[in-house]
Amino acid sequence: MQNHIMVVDDEAVARETLTEIIKMEGYDVYSFANGELAIEYVRNNSVDLILLDVRMPGMGGHEVVEVVTQISPDTEIILLTAFGSMESAVEALRQRVHDYLLKPASPTQILDSIKKGLVRREKRLKDLEDEGSPTLFYSLPGGINIDLSRRRVSQKDVIELLTPAEGQLLKVFLEKPGRVFSHREIVLLVQGYEVSNKEAQEILRPLVSRLRNKLIPFPTLLDRIISVRGTGYVFENDK
């Protein structure tokens, strides 16, 4: 399966150069000029590794790391900076990013760091799978298996992959079946921020719709996600 790499840098030349270098190695690459756009993409798509500039207008690199590690903890991050400092390096270590490179990093340095980051990601996912943590793996009646570490729902030979937001939404439901969640509660738990009830409904409607579409091959799971009119959603207890 092709790895998905993201490049985030407000400098167009640097962003385009990095994108081309990585594409030539056969990776699937997406690029964004600011942290806000990058985060919005990560919320709804799987990203294996991000090359992230530290200093950008608006949301800086360290702020992006804080959000991404919440919504997609299996995504590896490489920080890039032209203004290296001890404080920034210490912050990167605290945030447990994969690597911290000074610009201009050579193509060899960048590609080597990407390869090591992807290996680290696979090892972490494998370790989680071997641990069999009940908060990450669920076996449901009918032979349905849910692997939240890989955001994968499977039944026999049928496999559906979820985006980070879809996976987090399903995790919220699985952890507390039978509880009625308000629209605002779900947005806070899935997206990490508070909004009005009206905004929450607008945010959730397409997200729940996408998750339901992914779960069509698993009708016994799909049927447990119930809309509570005027309130929110409930994941019904298994009958």
Residue 236 pLDDT: 92
Q: What architecture is domain 4-129? A: 3-Layer(aba) Sandwich (3.40)
Residue 135's pLDDT is 59
Residue 224: what pLDDT? 94
Question: Which residues lie closer than 8 Å to 17 by C-beta, 6 or more apart?
Answer: none
Q: Show me where the domains of the chain are located.
A: 4-129, 137-235
137-235 is a CATH 2.40.10.10 domain: no
Same fold, 4-129 and 137-235: no
pLDDT in the model for residue 223: 93
Residue 204 near residue 196, CB atoms below 8 Å: no
Please report, in tens digits, the pLDDT of each residue of the chain (239 residues total). Answer: 678 999 999 999 999 999 999 999 999 999 999 999 999 898 888 899 999 998 888 888 888 988 888 788 889 999 888 765 556 555 655 666 888 888 888 999 999 999 999 998 888 777 666 655 555 788 888 899 998 877 889 998 899 998 888 888 999 999 899 999 999 999 888 877 778 888 888 888 889 999 999 999 999 999 999 999 889 999 998 76
pTM of the model: 0.64
- Furthest-apart CA pair in the chain: how many Å? 59
Q: What 3-state DSSP class applies to 110?
A: helix
Contact 34, 10 (CB under 8 A): yes
- Cβ-Cβ contacts under 8 Å for 238 (sequence gap 6 or more): 140, 141, 177, 224
The pLDDT, as a whole number, for residue 45 is 85
